[in-house]
Structure 1
Amino acid sequence: MKSLPKSSKELNDALVGIFPAFSGGFEELASSVTYEKEEISFHALMREFTYFFGKGIDSFSEKQLEELGDLLVRATRSKGPLENAIDTCFLEHAKKIKVNRKLARWLSKARAKHGA
């Protein structure tokens, strides 16, 4: 089983691995961080990703959606900041940005794969 991202940089790298067009997300957020030691939160990154995903939903391949579904299901099984960010900044907004139906199949498939 793949390990979960432990930092927002690792989450960004995982998302860019699935969606190369998202590559600017982390760098743009990093440039807005005012203190050197301040880290970009999972929440800030997932808000950026949610916007990106909503705009591009019709252009993503089945493989990309399957990989995202797998990442989301694995991450929401482990309580903590990553799970909370995915839940509150992406999954709760999926219906609002009209992507819930397109993503539902892939989330179900990932849940079955991981024994939900």
Structure 2
Amino acid sequence: MTTVKENFVRCTFYELCVRYHSWDFTFSMEVNYPSGRSDWEMTGKYHTKYKDTKTIIEFKYVPAKDADKVLSLQAPLETDAAKVTGYKNDVLQMFPHFAVETYVIYVAGNKGFRLFRGSKKL
């Protein structure tokens, strides 16, 4: 279930990306797949050097009081990594030639964030 604050973070990210990168990419939220519904996606447009690429992001928001739990993570939680891996596999079933990157972003209130590519900390 998406929280109000997670939705705010996701929609703000979406709006900024559309504003500054829409000439190269299309953006989507809540894309349905057999394995679930992705939070956020970016797909390269066919006439750009980014064609046949897709980025999938899973956003997670925790309140500031729980920030220490998220800010100390060295890898995404298994359930979150499994979600984006499932979405990636679903995309590759439909578009095997795509290059797909996955990320998990944890936002900890106003205390900070953690960004992981697939299952690795960036």
TM-score (norm 2): 0.32
- The structure in which a higher percent of residues are helix is 1
**Larger Rg belongs to:** 2
- The structure in which a higher percent of residues are strand is 2
Higher RCO structure (Cα 8 Å, ≥6 apart): 1
TM-score (norm 1): 0.33
